[in-house]
Amino acid sequence: MVQQNAFYAQSGGVTAVINASAAGVIETARQHADKIGTVYAGRHGIVGALTEELIDTSQESAAAIARLKHTPGGAFGSARYKLKSLEDSRAEYERLIEVFQAHNIGYFFYNGGGDSADTCLKVAQVSAQLGFPVAAVHIPKTVDNDLPITDCSPGFGSAAKYVATSIREAACDVASMARTSTRIFILEVMGRHTGWIAAACGLAAEQEGTAPHILLFPEIPFAEESFLTRVEAVIQRHGHCVIGAAEGLRYADGSFLSAAGWRDTFGHTQLGGVAPHIAQRLHAALRLPYHWAVVDCLQRAARHLASQIDVQPAIPARP
């Protein structure tokens, strides 16, 4: 087998362990130096390939690469950038393969979620069409744990621990104030279509009947009347009610409870916050004091900001 180089890129929102995946790719490639030469990392994800900003990881020591396993953030920079079909974005694909050819890159490792997996498939198909076949490998990464044929996505474990800890701490606060103050607390967590993170809130319950008292999943249609009845019953029994809710809650007709009315660059409907929506409905019905919190509020704000700005990079020609 002829030795070729590899390209690694990080995509989308970074997780607590995305750099550990990077270390795994680089260290494994070094163990097979007869097949894989230099591993280049894209500066800011796939954009680094389009702009030919490649980081030569061979310049880093084994100890430096090992430290990636405990490094937060995205060590090489990530990006939310969607490659469309060959018909719609032929110039981008041609540019991508041009850069891969120039650096003898025959392996493409893309570290991200479902959209990144789709990009891997397109790159593999298009590179073959353009006469420079590239082995494209998807490295799973998503806190939502919703990738097909992936039992547990790297990133979910740390998110599960975080939400379970957060809702337990909040529950302790609410229990201590319930007699004269907050009676209802709602924690909104990630999960557009799957309720894994909402289910992880349940890890906080020390025994049956302890907080969180109610978990709401996107897979189960939201029925307001029965929900209000459940909340009232919990308050009568415990004096307060702690709720974990996935952001993707839908009514029986399939509509989101909190659609914000706009879509991101990947075409996903953006959600405006299910926690305040539920809190308002509870207050209107029960007239009880409440608090709510959103785990991914900063990520949502960043997505909204990105949607208001043209962040698509130019595609420079190679000299």
Specify the pLDDT at position 124. 93
| Residue 89 vs residue 25, higher pLDDT | 25
Specify the pLDDT at position 25. 98
Catalytic position from the list 144, 173, 264, 310: 144
Residue 264 has pLDDT above 50, yes or no: yes
Specify the pLDDT at position 154. 94
pLDDT band at 271 (very low <50, low <70, confident <90, very high): low
| DSSP 8-state secondary structure symbol assigned to residue 314 | P
Q: Which of 305, 278, 308 is nearest to 293 (CA)?
A: 278
Q: Which pTM does this prediction carry?
A: 0.82
* Rounded Cα distance, 218 and 272, in Å: 15
CATH topology of domain 4-141: Rossmann fold (3.40.50)
Specify the pLDDT at position 310. 40
Q: What is the mean pLDDT of residues 55-63?
A: 97
Looking up tokens 């607390």 gives 185
pLDDT band at 303 (very low <50, low <70, confident <90, very high): very low
Q: Is the peptide bond before 212 cis (omega within 30 degrees of 0)?
A: yes
pLDDT for 187-230, tens place per residue? Answer: 999 998 999 999 999 999 988 879 999 999 999 999 999 999 99
Looking up tokens 């190679």 gives 318
| Same fold across 4-141 and 157-305 | yes
Q: Virtual CA dihedral for 48, 9, 81, 105, nearest 10 degrees?
A: 60
Architecture field, domain 157-305: 3-Layer(aba) Sandwich (3.40)
Looking up tokens 């891997």 gives 120
Residue 136 has pLDDT above 90, yes or no: yes
Question: What is the average pLDDT score of the chain?
Answer: 88
Q: Which of 148, 130, 210, 207 is nearest to 175 (CA)?
A: 210
Looking up tokens 């308002």 gives 280
Q: Which two tokens stand for residue 254?
A: 């399939």
Specify the pLDDT at position 317. 39
Domain spans of the chain?
4-141, 157-305
Q: Which of 98, 87, 104, 103 is nearest to 127 (CA)?
A: 98
pLDDT for 19-53, tens place per residue? Answer: 999 999 999 999 999 999 999 999 999 999 999 99
Residue 296 has pLDDT above 70, yes or no: no
Task: Give strand ranges (E) for 43-152.
Answer: 54-56, 105-112, 135-140
* Rounded Cα distance, 171 and 166, in Å: 9
Q: Which of 13-17, 113-117, 171-175, 265-269 has the lowest mean pLDDT?
A: 265-269
115 has catalytic annotation: no
Burial of 137 (0-12, 13-18, 19+ CB in 10 A): middle
Q: What is the mean pLDDT of residues 234-248?
A: 96
Q: What is the mean pLDDT of residues 7-16?
A: 94
